[in-house]
Amino acid sequence: MTDREKMMKQVQMYHFAMVDASLFLDTHPTDKEALKYFGRIKEMSDKAHQDYQKKYGSLNIKNGERDGKWEWATSAFPWEVQE
């Protein structure tokens, strides 16, 4: 696994944990333990996003610009396998 793939896996893992927990919270909106878990995972997800974007480019339009360029449009798309 390349470094890029490893960092992308962190992004995917924490984002997925957030999605999964959010579905649980939709039907259990006052579950204290789930709320705490979501808060913890959200922090890790934010960090994984930041780390990836610093090295490999934008994951959303909020972070579309890097080094004076609109990297959102020029960086690789997720259905392509990166060598």
Partner 1 sequence: MFSYQKHLQYPVKIANPSPALAKIIITQLGGPHGEKGAATRYLSQRFSMPYNEVKAILTDIGTEELGHEEMISTIVHQLTKNMSIDQIKAEGYDAYFVDHTAGIYPQSASGSAFSAETLSSSGDVLADLHEDLAAEQKARLSYDNLLRLIDDNDVRDPIKFLREREIIHYQRFGEAMRKVQEQLDSKNFYAFNPAFDRK
Interface residues toward partner 1, by CB under 8 A: 5, 8-9, 11-12, 15-16, 19-20, 22-24, 26-29, 58-61, 72, 75, 77-79, 81
Query: Looking at residue 30, what DSSP letter applies?
Result: T
- Smallest distance, partner 1 to C-beta of residue 50, A: 14
Whether 59 and 51 have beta carbons less than 8 Å apart is answered as: no
- Smallest distance, partner 1 to C-beta of residue 61, A: 7
Q: Rounded to whole angstroms, how far apart are CA atoms 45 and 37?
A: 12
Q: Give the nearer residue to partner 1 in terms of CB position, either 24 or 36.
A: 24
